[in-house]
Amino acid sequence: MSSGQQVLPLQTPIPAGRARRPRWHFRLQGSDTAWAIAFVVPYTAVFVAFVAYPVVFGLWMGSRPTLYALLFSEPRYIDTLVNTMLFVCIGVNVKMFLAFVVSGFFMQRRWWVRALLVVFLLPWALPALSVFLSIHYMLVSQWGLLDSLWSAVTGADGPLFLVSRGMAMAANILAYIWKWLPFWTLIFLSARMAIPKEIYEAAAIDGATSIQQTVHVTFPLMANVYLVATLLSTLWTFGDFPTVHFVSSGAPARTTEVLATYGFREAFVFGHPELGAAAMMSALPLVIPIVILLMRRLHRTGVQL
């Protein structure tokens, strides 16, 4: 079983692979071509006006080299870079690993597991705004739920979460995992369901324990989906604004900001839009290699999202 070439669609009913279909027997001609072009005009117009133009404009805004010299002379910016790396690397990887484990748990066919799945997916349906405000309140108030729980268990006053940089960063990452774990669990759940049962039966007959089955059957078969999901989630997490904006709000003293909130604050709170654009564009050296890797991966393996 060559795991590298295994094509596992994330979406079970849609067959993967890039099989060529027979072409439209009557090649596009005359008025049909005109119609086809007319059909893609709205999409192209939206793309040019609201994606390509902003991208180019943003690159132009952040194109002066002096901006980057200014950014790198700012210790806050260096902190922000470190935070972004921590947030993305720890957040995405822990979340993906947990999603893999939890999706295995949800493969059970018991009624209470199925009922739990419905509840478990709630964070994904709830607006980020609502839940992150709630989490912020749990952390910031001395009467927050976490403090109440803490004192109910230990009898002492709870810790002040948003006073230490480490705790505030950990809170951001945990809130991020809370919000996005359900979605990726669902993705892995459908990937697990696409694995034929016979493979597990064969492994069980050969005497493989359930841990061995996970390591030698499930994981190789899901490696592709796992990698694509991780890369995609990494890209999205670079642009994750609401988590940090609401949960820690950069507290204490702007030491827990990530690039998205830092650029936002420079541009709209302190009134340096070009510096803000430069800060956000400075994520590109990290983003572009991942985009290229992911594009190649998607074209080669046909994993679909």
Partner 1 sequence: MTGRPANEPAMSRVVAAARNARRRHRRRLAGGIAGAALGVVLLIWTLLPVYNMVLIALNDEGDEFTGSLWPQDPSFGSFRAVWTQDHWYLENFWHQFGNSIILGVATMVLTVMIGSLASFAIGRMRLRRGQLIGDAALLTYMLPTAILIIPFVHIMHVYGLSDSLWAVISAYVAFATPYAVLILHQYGKLLPMELDECAKIDGASPVQIYLCIYLPLMTPALVAVGVYALLLAWNDYLYQFMLLSSTRNMTVAAAIDQFFDSDEAPWNYMMAVALVYSLPPIAIYFALRRFTSFDRVHT
Q: Could you say whether residue 133 binds partner 1 (CB under 8 A)?
A: yes
Number of shown-chain residues binding partner 1 (CB under 8 A): 104
Stretch that binds partner 1, among 64-72, 76-84, 216-224, 268-276 (CB under 8 A): 268-276
CB-nearer residue toward partner 1: 93 or 151: 151
The piece of 164-172, 200-208, 217-225, 261-269 that touches partner 1 (CB under 8 A) is 261-269
Site string (60-99) toward partner 1, x via CB under 8 A = -x--------------------------------------
Are residues 180 and 1 in contact, defined by beta-carbon separation less than 8 angstroms? Answer: no
Coil vs helix vs strand at 250: coil
- Residue pair 257/250 in contact by the 8 Å Cβ criterion: yes
Where does this chain touch partner 1 (CB under 8 A) — which range of 70-78, 89-97, 160-168, 238-246? 238-246
Which residues of the chain form beta strands (DSSP E)? none
Residue 291 tokens read as 């985009």
Binder to partner 1 among 1, 4, 14, 285 (CB under 8 A)? 14
Q: 244: closest CA among 137, 87, 90?
A: 87
Angle at 130 between CA 124 and CA 136, to 5 degrees: 110
Q: Which three-class secondary structure state does DSSP give residue 190?
A: helix
Radius of gyration, alpha carbons of the chain: 24
Q: How far apart are CA 261 and CA 240, in angstroms?
A: 9
* Least distance in angstroms from the C-beta of 166 to partner 1: 21
101 to 120, contacts with partner 1 by CB under 8 A? 102, 105, 108, 112-113, 116, 118-120
Stretch that binds partner 1, among 71-79, 165-173, 197-205, 232-240 (CB under 8 A): 232-240
Binding positions for partner 1, 160-179, rule CB under 8 A: 178
Nearer to partner 1, 163 or 293 (CB): 293
For position 252 contacting partner 1 by CB under 8 A, the verdict is no
Among 1, 2, 4, 26, binds partner 1 (CB under 8 A): 26
Q: Can residue 267 be called a binding residue for partner 1 (CB under 8 A)?
A: yes
Query: Rounded distance, CA 88 to CA 66, Å?
Result: 27
Residue 251 sits in the site that holds partner 1 (CB under 8 A): no
- Three-state DSSP at 73 gives coil
Q: How many CA atoms does the CB half-sphere of 211 hold within 13 Å? A: 0
**Shortest Å distance, C-beta 6 to partner 1:** 19
Give the separation between CA 283 and CA 295, rounded to whole angstroms: 18
- The position carrying tokens 């749990």 is 138
Q: Binding marks (x or -) toward partner 1, 28..67, rule CB under 8 A?
A: x---xx-xxx-xx-xxx-xx-xxx-xxx-xx--x------
* DSSP codes, 281-298: HTTHHHHHHHHHHHHHHH
Cα gap 235→159, rounded to integer Å: 33
135, 168, 229, 251: which one binds partner 1 (CB under 8 A): 135
199 scored as a contact of partner 1 (CB under 8 A): no
Cα 131 to Cα 124: distance, rounded to the nearest angstrom: 10
Shortest distance, CB of residue 11 to partner 1, whole angstroms?
5
Is residue 295 a contact residue for partner 1 (CB under 8 A)? yes
